[in-house]
Structure 1
């Protein structure tokens, strides 16, 4: 029997040295790095034409494919909810009866940390105010409507995008023992071709999306850091000052990479969560507490009531252009972020069932985001409506300053502004560090601990992309990059859903079979639950022969067509593949559908 390493897939994409990088998938690395560096060079040298290209690309995509973005993200939400309540809900992201790696409380905390970030800090006060001043459907300003659309952009739809990628990666990596890459989700459709040019192209598109999604977030962070420093020190705001901030914070992110996961990103993440919760509680207590509690309950009810209509609203009649700058941007941003967040939540959710995964990764972060947006955004709205504070003017003048203007009208303004600026910096560092890790995993064929020099390269590249986008077109260029990067990966995600369904149909599931954890889990059971008696499992732990009308007492290994894992190195046995071509539809590790 092949030695079982629970933290590694059975097969990896071939890797090797390229220049100074010791462990990369050469086709993926060369394609993705070359294209990204070429775009950086073009935008840096030809700033004017690059700005025009970004603007034209955004206008064309939102005009031609806006309806597609709205439809496909809603379908992702329907898909993950269906899986949770279907017969596939008990399927575990890992071996049958495998226990989760983290406690429920720890798991929720990590999901919450994934839901927090620069974006929620940047938009928490500004977005509700924008929707209050300029209602999407016209009419008089309405605070409840403003919160509804903010919830829409940060709620179930956003997390359904992450869930699709997380489910696919978790299932194929931890249950089917394939590489922890995006290409693995296509095994039911492509078979061993995922290790060829098509697989390289899929992972390259995932790198493009992640790179520009992370760069967009970093760009927002730099705008807010600059605003915070200007508020505290009066240093002013400019594109070149923002480039200097990017260089400095990217240097900090590089230091975090060199420290490693346990000393770098883990400690910073814990600091982020603690400081975020402290800021949230401070605003809740120092602000209009009763109003915020009522506003939260009312806002959730209003969101649920209007969710079906919001999900498919396309602004087809009025064509005001509002949706292009908001919903389409967000959907493109979430999709481009999906490989990053999806891989993270898949790794921390190993051992959970699909039903548990959807309940935790869809609902928990959504509710955490609702609380955050209500407390900070609701405080800003209350100041505007009854507090005599013209927060709207500050938002219209500079969206990045909104949170600082709001904090300025609460006690201890200088302290909270300083801590908020520090929080944005640490979120920048963790986003850059985590993003470089995910990109490097994709470029390194699914290796979970690639060499640090490669992560440093990707961290510096993320900073360079963010800097170029800010210099070229500021906030508009960041939005254009997300929308453009998200479109091809949205198509990839559609096929991920199809492939996942094809694989799940091969699962020999009995109701709740995998949700009943035995008192002493049998480590010899492999990846899929079998219906044979326990003594037979112990007698034949390595492979499970396909049911035969005339069963032999001891089937020959060559006749085993129910498994595609013929060799100890995880490769498909050629004779078995020729004998059973239909078995290549999905990797089932010895399980066949009845």
Structure 2
């Protein structure tokens, strides 16, 4: 893959191109899916102000009547998961199939940009941002907690608790929650947005991609409603990560200092402090803050992974990794379609698989826009195979090493990491480190890693929210970025205060319910646009005009 030095080619985002000023081939494509004339600035800002008003209203209700809000939200979540929970598994499975077809056919040679474009970032930096800015905090919170919880309570009752089969099932169902299904959602969003913005010159929004399905309505009230829904879903998905991150940081500080620092008050202070850091990082731009922080987190995470692998039961972990990967791949379709059979099974799915899938769906636009921003010049084949395959493999190794080590400790040394995780998932990761050498040092490293993941994930999210509310400009103004940084921190703090992590999880599942329909529409529109791509007709896409960035004052 080409590895141009971004220092020689500073990243810049393509501005929306009006149909008549675009290259001929791109102009022909735009004419197939015409846009309405650009609206005045105040009209375009309606998405921003409607989103802000809805978020402030929600925060007001959550702060003044938390119990009533939690009761209504729980009832709604029960109804949603009982009636349409199956869609959270079936639709991502269909997206995997679609992406593989696109990557392995002629479509795979199309670039996310003009035919002569090349990647803006070297491959190692691209991969670091891809991994570091997406699911970092979850890797700490659930890296130990999910596998060891599944060992104590095996998924769907398929194995005896604490048995060798339960070890393998614990990991392969963890792979299900964090592997191909999640990254298929991200890849479809990233591919659709990258193709729309970099190749067709559209705005960096979801609504223009739906033009093949809803025509001019994509630029009217319906399109704005979709963009508002995207913003709300993105915000709730990210605030869950921020709540998890604050809980992990407070738990780690308690482990290091021996003080009682796991209270909600401490977590709120953590959110406030880190909000200042990630907002400042987001305002510095992707080419500086986000890129370098992502690279740093990847190095630190790799070092911690290697430490646990070497000091833990190395041979046992390698054996378990290979067995679990084999079970995941061999029974992939079967475990992808295992649906609850009774109320107890439904409750388990709500706590794990359904919640995880809803989390990824709510993150879809955030990760998709971010992936599109850093993937200009990549071919569809490169994009799909790397985005689907590499993170799935990396996270499989991560969960096998950390979760596998905890399961080994519980099975062979009589520790109770699994029982503690059943009470509070935030204790699991540091509970494992407590069983290994250099506990204080590794705990400090883990807390630092959570802080870095907190910042990289949140500043990427802040950037994306600013793009979505700035009429799709991929270089949004600093004041908009600052506004979303503060709103993101405030939303995480209020929901954490109102109902803890359960309130955050419920908000994610409810925001993902209508958003699943947007994903389906997005996938259909993407296929319709790709079928009309000039390259497939033998007409190359000419270089785009020199890009013009938005005012960042």
User: Is 1:7 the counterpart of 2:14 in the alignment?
Assistant: yes
Q: How does 1:354-503 map to 2 (within 5 A)?
A: 354-503=380-529
Q: Does 1:338 align with 2:338?
A: no
Q: Is 2:281 the counterpart of 1:250?
A: no
**Cα distance, 1:314 vs structure 2:** 1.1
SS, match of residue 474 in structure 2: coil
After superposition, the Cα gap between the structure-2 partners of 1:283 and 1:486, relative to the gap in structure 1 and judged at 3 Å, is same
State the 1:507 CA deviation: 2.6
What residue is the counterpart of 2:5 in the other structure?
none
| Residues in 1 aligned to 2:309 and 2:40: alpha-carbon distance in whole angstroms | 53
- Residue 256 of structure 2: SS of its match in structure 1? helix
Contact 1:345–1:361 (8 Å) recurs in 2: no
- Asked if 1:275 is matched to 2:297, the reply is no
The answer (yes or no) to whether the contact 2:132–2:456 under 8 Å persists in 1 is no
Larger Rg: 1
More helix by share: 2
Deviations 1:397-420 (A, max 9, x none): 321011101001111100110111
The yes-or-no answer on 1:140 pairing with 2:160 is: yes
2:63 is aligned with 1:39? no
The match for 1:193 among 217, 225, 228 is 217
Give 1:37 deviation, angstroms: 0.8
Task: Give the whole-Å Cα distance in 1 for the aligned partners of 2:288 and 2:234.
Answer: 24
* 1:171-210 matched pairs, under 5 angstroms: 171-210=195-234
State the partner residue of 2:339: 314
User: Is the counterpart of residue 304 in structure 1 residue 368 in structure 2?
Assistant: no
Q: For 1:432-471, what per-residue CA distance to the aligned partner results, in whole angstroms no more than 9, with x for missing partners?
A: 2111110010000111221212111111111111112212
Contact residue 111 and residue 345 of structure 1 kept, 8 A: yes
Please report how far the alpha carbon of residue 206 of structure 1 lies from its aligned counterpart in structure 2 after TM superposition.
0.7
The answer for the alignment partner of 1:108 in structure 2 is 127
Partner of residue 562, structure 1: none
Match of 1:122 among 135, 141, 145: 141
The residue matched to 2:201 in structure 1 has which SS? coil
Number of residue pairs matched?
512
Asked whether the equivalents of residues 215 and 465 of structure 1 are also in contact (C-alpha less than 8 Å), the reply is yes
Give distance in 2, aligned partners of 1:262 and 1:466.
27
User: In 1, are the aligned partners of 2:14 and 2:197 still within 8 Å (CA)?
Assistant: no
Write the distance in 1 (CA, Å) between the matches of 2:499 and 2:169: 30
TM-score, with normalisation over the residues of structure 2? 0.88
Once the two structures are superposed, residues 480-510 of structure 1 have per-residue CA deviations (whole angstroms, 9 ceiling, x without a partner) of: 1111111121101100111111112213555
Structure 1 unaligned runs (5+)? 19-23, 515-521, 528-541, 543-568, 570-594
> Contact between 1:15 and 1:26, CA under 8 Å: does it hold in 2?
no
Determine if the alignment matches structure 1 residue 217 to structure 2 residue 216: no
Residue by residue over 1:548-588, the C-alpha shift from the partner in whole angstroms, topping out at 9 and shown as x without a partner, is: xxxxxxxxxxxxxxxxxxxxx9xxxxxxxxxxxxxxxxxxx
Higher relative contact order (CA 8 A, sep 6+): 2
Report if aligned partners of 1:57, 1:480 keep a CA contact under 8 Å in 2: no
User: What is the root-mean-square deviation in Å for CA atoms of aligned residues?
Assistant: 2.4
After TM superposition, give the deviation of residue 270 of structure 1 in Å.
2.3
User: Who is 2:250 aligned against?
Assistant: 226
2:467–2:476 CA contact under 8 A, matched in 1: yes
1:504 to 530, 535, 540: 530
> Which residue of 64, 75, 81 maps to 1:62?
81
Preserved CA contact (<8 Å) 2:113 2:198: yes
Distance in 2 (alpha carbons) for counterparts of 1:93 and 1:241: 44
Match of 1:525 in 2: 542
